[in-house]
Chain A
């Protein structure tokens, strides 16, 4: 088959750094008269104080409820009147502000978002209301087998004091104990221009995007945050299994996983391809073939790889009925064992590689997709031409390399397994 031109000249975004350290990436598109603004600050949940996991999450819920010059109602009117929904999210490493607005509204929206980031007023009454929301979300999570299984698995894989093992939303006790002073101190210590990347994609000239960014962020000054301490990770030495009985549920969630590698590890591309063939390709790779397609046990069975600044997890997930839990775990064991012992075939590797390369135009079709991609490449320092280089990075992976990382990171005897659902005791 003829190779499609998947990247052409590439995205070729412009990148500038403001004198205070704010990085700006911009890319003009003219698909729709709209612009996606994606601003990320390196202030994710790894920055939660050791005694207050969930603090960054609560901050994300209240940070856009007032600034030095605007009330929560003012902000709501300014956004709603333009049809904008501002998403404020916290991942392990990033605190993000993402929205799409009409191109005509770009200048005003950037001004507003910059104000939210730089001078949040964190009103006491709003904080109390948002705490109530987070406490309700924690209660919902308690009743959600998928959340319970995943959180328990992360705790197993990343025991304290590793930040990846902590619940991003914290606990009810912690949330109730957090106050405005604590959140304000967290904002002051973690939000800084040198930690900030602005990505602008849409129907706006990069030069104009830079001028606006300079106007609203150029005079921002804040001390450089203290580095987040690394934590030495000891991979599991033996198999572990935890059962969370949730007898009111119709089916169980299985979370099964391993710690793997950092994103900058040279073996990353081999691991990416290995995981894709194992738990993603087409109807969820080998796992989907076995558990859903051949055995009809589950609506979903797949794996994800989250290589990050610290060694990220490879997670296998499946949702299965009570009668099939032991069989499903045994099937995952069997697939892991086969992968480690026999490896992938050359065809499986080639199929995944071709898919990932040829899927790039889809991933980079919308403004939001491009903005997310550029934010990720900036975060991991992959370079402005990463979209052009990525196909060759994948092409360079050999079958031996993909199979070697499977052997290195996966093992039935060292798997961590959590079952949450209508299941009380494992069968003999």
Chain B
């Protein structure tokens, strides 16, 4: 059972006992992501995340290596549009060590100027690595085109010139503004005693002072009033197509109808960004697979509907088979989406989509790490109870709701179409 507590400094602590393995997973979540960045500082949330692995007042730089590995543990972190998070999973006797690391990370980051400088090139290398992948590059361009005002439009890694010019003070100022206990949630899941875990959390975090709640962006994305298009012409070997539709946030009931619709169109991925999205969905009987891959027009098709705090985009991605014109792929895809918008899905598709989603809920919660991720992820964007109510909410979705979601979301005026139309590759300098 999930137990919630709030420390005097505002830190939310969530503990769930899972006694299936002698392990514990600790995640610390911050309500800060790339949507909180202003122009000129894009990428700062992610860079701050990198800096928070570079030593603290009580974990000197040369003692970072091995601090969790000596318990057989792993640690990591990620940043996305709504959140930044850090995790450790290790044997349960490392619980104190994990809490100590997270408390240090919240309050005592060093941000040595040399480390900031050295990390600049690491992050630019990460950005260039992403640009090497045309599918990822197109994704970034499509999202940037779909949003004209809201900061969801810029990539979490940031724009290159911002990464080249950001200073140590920019990073440290941002860190101090957002890394306060009343802007964070601590999640502990594993072979622990809840009361004991809460005591330890109080011991490690209780003295960290509350901070002023950070400012929030107020821009609301205006309604899209016509189709947008972006075409990338760069050297490459393979053509890619994406169509993005503005889609509901997690707290909108329409989200669940769209989730079921996506399962019928491309197969159910599930709702765990940490685990499900690493496994392909069951999809060979879905509409878009049959229409595109089944007919040899595409080698892959995927849907991406991610739970977000504010309305984001539902993206359908297609890899065209060698020699197939993108126009042919787009024509077929738009036809299929048009049918769904016009007629909704069938009762049999509804039953199958729900069965897939329910199975994924089982598969994606098979470890203390995955369970802790889900609790913290949803606490950060909407409240942890969203996570515990998935099953009834999916069960309650009706055919009419799916049809309504299809009719209102899959419209021409709500879509952004992106092409990666490759130019011939020359291997000469």
Contact = CB atoms under 8 A, between A and B. Distances in A.
Interface string A355-379: 1111111101111100000000000
A281 interface: yes
A18 to B, nearest CB: 28
Given A83-B268, A365-B368, A250 B131 contact: yes
Interface stretch (A27-35, A49-57, A219-227): A27-35
Contact of A77 (B53, B128, B281, B285): B285
Contacts of A133: 293, 299-300, 321
A292 interface: yes
Interface stretch (A231-239, A241-249, A381-389, A402-410): A241-249
Contact of B125 (A32, A297, A357, A368): A297
A337 to B, nearest CB: 22
B237 A140 contact: yes
A81 B118 contact: no
Contacts of A294: 118
Interface in B99-138: 117-129, 131-134
Interface stretch (A2-10, A190-198, A267-275, A302-310): A2-10
Contacts of B117: 296
Interface centre among A5, A6, A296, A354 (most CB of B within 10 A): A296
B235 to A, nearest CB: 4
B338 interface: no
A106 to B, nearest CB: 13
B156 interface: no
Given A319-B125, A351-B66, A361 B285 contact: no
B362 A102 contact: yes
A230 interface: no
Interface in B52-82: 53, 64-66, 69-74
A87 B280 CA distance: 9
A299 B69 contact: no
Given A34-B366, A281-B69, A355-B69, A296 B91 contact: no
Contacts of B69: 281-282, 351, 354-355
Interface stretch (B4-12, B18-26, B216-224): B18-26
Nearest to A283: B65
B118 A295 contact: yes
B197 to A, nearest CB: 18
B237 A143 contact: yes
Nearest to A103: B362
Contacts of A249: 132
B122 A365 contact: no
Contacts of A144: 132-133
Interface in B330-364: 352, 355-360, 362-363
Contacts of A358: 70-73, 90-91
Contact of B238 (A140, A293, A364): A140
B400 to A, nearest CB: 23
A289 interface: yes
Interface string A72-102: 1101110111111101000000000000111
Contact of B129 (A87, A140, A299, A357): A299
Among B123, B133, B234, residue most surrounded by chain A Cβ atoms (within 10 Å): B133
B206 interface: no
A82 B23 contact: no
A292 B238 contact: no
B93 A79 contact: no
Interface stretch (B177-185, B308-316, B402-410, B421-429): B421-429
B237 A80 contact: no
Which of under 10, 10 to 19, 20 to 34, or 35 or more describes the interface residues of A?
Answer: 35 or more
Contact of A362 (B89, B93, B268): B89
**A83, A128, A319, A362 — which one has the most chain B CB atoms within 10 A of its CB?**
A83
Contacts of A82: 282, 355, 359
Contact of A296 (B22, B118, B359): B118
B70 A319 contact: no
Contact of A136 (B93, B124, B294, B322): B322
Contacts of A356: 72
B272 interface: no
Nearest to A128: B296
A30 B20 CA distance: 8
A185 B281 CA distance: 31
- The listed residue with most A CB atoms (<10 A of its CB), out of B72, B120, B295, is B72
A86 to B, nearest CB: 8
A308 B138 CA distance: 39
B393 to A, nearest CB: 17
A31 B366 contact: yes
Interface residues of B, number: 79
Given A83-B356, A251-B128, A361-B72, A143 B134 contact: yes
Nearest to B123: A299
A2 B93 contact: yes
Q: Which of B234, B319, B320 has the most CB of A within 10 A?
A: B319
B65 to A, nearest CB: 4
Interface in A5-31: 5-6, 29-31
A296 B73 CA distance: 25
A81 B263 CA distance: 11
B236 interface: yes
Considering residues A137, A143, A283, A320, which has the most beta carbons from chain B within 10 angstroms of its beta carbon?
A: A143
A85 B279 contact: yes
Nearest to A320: B125
Given A32-B365, A133-B293, A139-B238, A76 B65 contact: no
Contacts of B167: none
A81 B355 contact: yes
Nearest to A105: B359
Nearest to B236: A143
A100 B296 contact: no
B125 A298 contact: yes
A101 B127 CA distance: 37
Given A4-B22, A247-B429, A283-B65, A362 B236 contact: no
A424 B427 CA distance: 9
B367 interface: yes
B283 interface: yes
Nearest to B21: A365
B284 A80 contact: yes
A351 B293 CA distance: 48
A355 B296 CA distance: 47
A195 to B, nearest CB: 26
Contacts of B66: 281-282, 351
23 contacts: A2-B93, A30-B20, A31-B366, A76-B284, A82-B359, A83-B360, A100-B363, A133-B321, A135-B322, A137-B299, A143-B238, A143-B425, A245-B429, A246-B427, A247-B428, A251-B129, A282-B69, A292-B122, A293-B118, A354-B70, A358-B91, A362-B74, A367-B366
Interface of B: 20-23, 53, 64-66, 69-74, 89-93, 117-129, 131-134, 234-238, 267-268, 279-286, 293-296, 299-300, 319-322, 352, 355-360, 362-363, 365-368, 425-429
